[in-house]
């Protein structure tokens, strides 16, 4: 996900109860109520019945892109407010001191080929943003410190777009310019091009060409394919950033690529994705499912509207793919033995019985970010947890991985150990003169106001269906190499 600083998300106000679980499972953890400021959550509006989940020919293979990059998602800015590193032993009585010489967080994203006119590019698939853009030839790479031009290779883009829009510029629109929360930025022009993805061609699609950028690229991708809603597009009629937010008078909302596809009747109003952990690949499908093995039943959850106080348009329109999980099950934690009055929470949770909160489904975020009231007790069940950096925790790579379950629509899915302890993401530490190898735990915590996110480490376990028409998400447990352990409650899948 790439989220701009144009719209500041302040917080959330949610209530609910954790569903019953079978006696053979550990009890769900009832998180103390989270009182967030400035946001209300309500159900989305369905515009048509649920689309059939049939395999479609309109699918394309995704490629997993690795890189030791500065953390590019919006969590980086949020975590700066509380500090990136501290001693967990003194604060939380963990078993070993927390130290870290890490200067980067490991990022992965999934890329697909798209054709723009007669040119082909690899772009990052991002369900957490809406604009589609690629970088233009002869662009200016801008130094983030001096703001002066530097060698274009420093921005790390793949191939650049040659020429300009074949169908012309969008009239009466200022050149776009927006900055992401980590200091990355792009700017350029908006125009119309023919875009082909997975065999589906959208004629005269509005998109962006970046002619200047401050970027930390991977050397492969040339831009982003945004798959979220029209309200999250970032084109405005003014360059005054203080006036530019979703639904503001200056906002020039337009239909992103996927929205154009289904409005023009090219595909049903859904897309789906499946990420293959072992092959480093995956699938993105429009109008149906990709050709992968999965369970026959599914869990479903309505997509929620996130109403932001300073953006009235968000009262009736979707912004992100936001759901509310029923609850979480992890390790051996029992609510009867959990102390809610831990002073380290600093009064961030009230004493009500609320236990649910919204989570965004975001393919542009590598890991998952949840409240510390959930993540920290889970991390404490690893073998000798070592420390925290940038909202991420590390544990010895040979640790026993405690189970972690997410309950959605009454069905509990236990995430893979490979996603919960990332063996590919390692750092070496010296502990009392003994070298030790630490691996990254796939769950990070976040500020109390969120945002809370299920990223790729969550999506690896499912065929995830984004049914915009029905206003819901569906999750099929994977089978085969990406198999997911799932248990059902009565009435869970329908």
Q: What HEC string does the chain produce? A: CCCECCCCCCCCECCCCCCCCCCCCCCCCCCCCEECCCEEEEECCCCCCCCCCCECCCEEEEEEEEEEECCCCCHHHHHHCCCCECCHHHHHCCCCCCCCCCCCEEEEEEEEEEEECCEEEEEEEECCCCCCEEEEEEEEEECCCCCCEECHHHHCCCCCECCCCCCCECCCCCCEEEEECCCCEEEEEEEEEEEEECCEEEEEEEEEEEEEEECCCCCCCCEEEECCCHHHCCCECCCCHHHCCCCCCCECCCCCHHHHHHHCCCCCCEEEEEEECCCCEEEEEECCECCCCECCCCEEEECEEEEECCEHHHHCCCCCCEECCCEEEECCCCHHHCCCCCHHHCCCECCCCCCCCCEEECCCCCCEEECHHHHHHHHCCCCCCCEEECCEEEEECCCCCCCEEEEECCEEEECCHHHHEEEEEEEEEEECCEEEEEEEECEEECCCCCCCEECHHHHCCEEEEEECCCCEEEEEEECHHHCCEEEECCCCCC
Interval 459-468 mean pLDDT: 96
- 341 — pLDDT class (breaks 50, 70, 90): very low
Interval 434-449 mean pLDDT: 82
- Say what the pLDDT of residue 103 is: 32
Query: Taking 70 as the threshold, does the pLDDT of residue 342 lie above it?
Result: no
- 239 — pLDDT class (breaks 50, 70, 90): low
For residue 175, which phi and psi values (nearest 5 degrees)? -55, 135
Query: Taking 60 as the threshold, does the pLDDT of residue 459 lie above it?
Result: yes
Residue with the bigger pLDDT between 120 and 43: it is 120
- 241 — pLDDT class (breaks 50, 70, 90): low
Query: Taking 60 as the threshold, does the pLDDT of residue 95 lie above it?
Result: no
- Say what the pLDDT of residue 402 is: 92
To the query of whether residue 362 is one of the catalytic residues in this protein, the response is yes
Residue the block writes with tokens 């699918």:
59
Q: Could you tell me the pTM of the whole model?
A: 0.81
Is residue 330 within 8 A of residue 377, CB to CB? The reply is yes
| Catalytically annotated residue among 218, 255, 326, 362 | 362
- Say what the pLDDT of residue 310 is: 58
To the query of whether residue 194 is one of the catalytic residues in this protein, the response is no
- 19 — pLDDT class (breaks 50, 70, 90): very low
- 486 — pLDDT class (breaks 50, 70, 90): low
Query: Taking 60 as the threshold, does the pLDDT of residue 76 lie above it?
Result: no
Residue with the bigger pLDDT between 67 and 458: it is 458
Number of neighbouring beta carbons within 10 Å of residue 387: 24
Residue with the bigger pLDDT between 454 and 430: it is 454
- 243 — pLDDT class (breaks 50, 70, 90): low
CA 318 to chain centre: 16
Given phi > 0 = left and psi -120 to 50 = alpha, else beta, which region is 112? beta
Burial 147-182 (b: 16+ CB within 10 A, else e): eeeeebeebbbbebbeeebeeeebeebbebbbebbb
The lowest-confidence range among 67-71, 192-196, 458-462 is 67-71
- Say what the pLDDT of residue 247 is: 59
- Say what the pLDDT of residue 343 is: 30
- 312 — pLDDT class (breaks 50, 70, 90): low
- Say what the pLDDT of residue 356 is: 72
């Amino acid at each position: 996900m790439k989220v701009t600083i144009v719209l500041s998300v302040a917080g959330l106000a949610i209530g609910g109860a954790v569903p019953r679980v079978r006696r053979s499972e550990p009890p769900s953890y009832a998180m103390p109520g989270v009182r967030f400021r400035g946001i209300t959550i309500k159900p989305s509006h369905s515009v048509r019945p649920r689309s059939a989940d049939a395999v479609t020919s309109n699918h394309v293979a995704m490629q997993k892109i690795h890189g030791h990059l500065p953390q590019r998602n919006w969590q980086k800015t949020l975590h700066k407010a509380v500090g990136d590193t501290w001693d967990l032993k003194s604060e939380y009585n963990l078993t070993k001191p927390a130290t870290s010489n890490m200067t980067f967080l490991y990022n992965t994203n999934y890329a697909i080929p798209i054709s723009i006119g007669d040119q082909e590019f690899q772009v990052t698939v991002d369900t957490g943003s809406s604009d589609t853009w690629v970088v233009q030839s002869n662009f200016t790479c801008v130094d983030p410190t001096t703001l002066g031009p530097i060698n274009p290779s420093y921005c790390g883009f793949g191939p650049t777009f040659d020429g300009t829009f074949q169908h012309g510029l969008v009239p009466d629109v200022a050149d776009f310019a927006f900055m992401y929360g980590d200091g990355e930025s792009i700017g350029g022009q908006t125009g119309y091009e023919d875009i082909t993805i997975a065999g589906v061609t959208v004629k005269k699609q509005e998109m962006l060409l970046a002619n200047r950028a401050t970027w930390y690229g991977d050397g492969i991708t040339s831009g982003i394919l945004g798959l979220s809603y029209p309200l999250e597009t970032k084109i405005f009629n003014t360059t005054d950033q203080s006036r530019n937010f979703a639904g503001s008078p200056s906002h020039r909302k337009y239909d992103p690529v996927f929205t154009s596809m289904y409005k023009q009747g090219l595909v049903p109003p859904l897309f789906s994705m499946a990420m293959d952990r072992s092959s480093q690949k995956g699938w993105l499908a429009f109008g149906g499912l990709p050709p992968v093995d999965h369970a026959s039943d599914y869990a479903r959850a309505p997509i929620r509207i996130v109403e932001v106080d300073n953006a009235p348009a968000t009262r009736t329109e979707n912004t992100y793919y936001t759901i509310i999980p029923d609850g979480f099950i992890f390790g051996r934690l029992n609510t009867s033995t959990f102390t809610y009055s831990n002073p380290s929470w600093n009064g961030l949770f009230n004493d009500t019985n609320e236990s649910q909160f919204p989570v965004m489904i975001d393919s542009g975020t590598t890991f998952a970010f949840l409240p510390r009231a959930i993540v920290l007790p889970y991390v404490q069940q690893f073998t000798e947890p070592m420390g925290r950096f940038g909202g991420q925790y590390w544990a010895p790579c040979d640790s026993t991985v405690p189970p972690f379950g997410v309950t959605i629509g009454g069905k509990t899915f236990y995430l893979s150990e490979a996603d919960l302890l990332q063996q590919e993401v390692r750092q070496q530490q010296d502990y009392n003169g003994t070298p030790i190898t630490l691996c990254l735990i796939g769950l990070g915590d976040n500020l109390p106001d969120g945002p809370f996110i299920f990223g790729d480490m969550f999506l690896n376990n499912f065929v995830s269906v984004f049914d915009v028409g029905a206003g819901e998400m569906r999750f099929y447990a994977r089978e085969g190499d990406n198999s997911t352990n799932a248990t059902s409650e009565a009435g869970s899948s329908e």
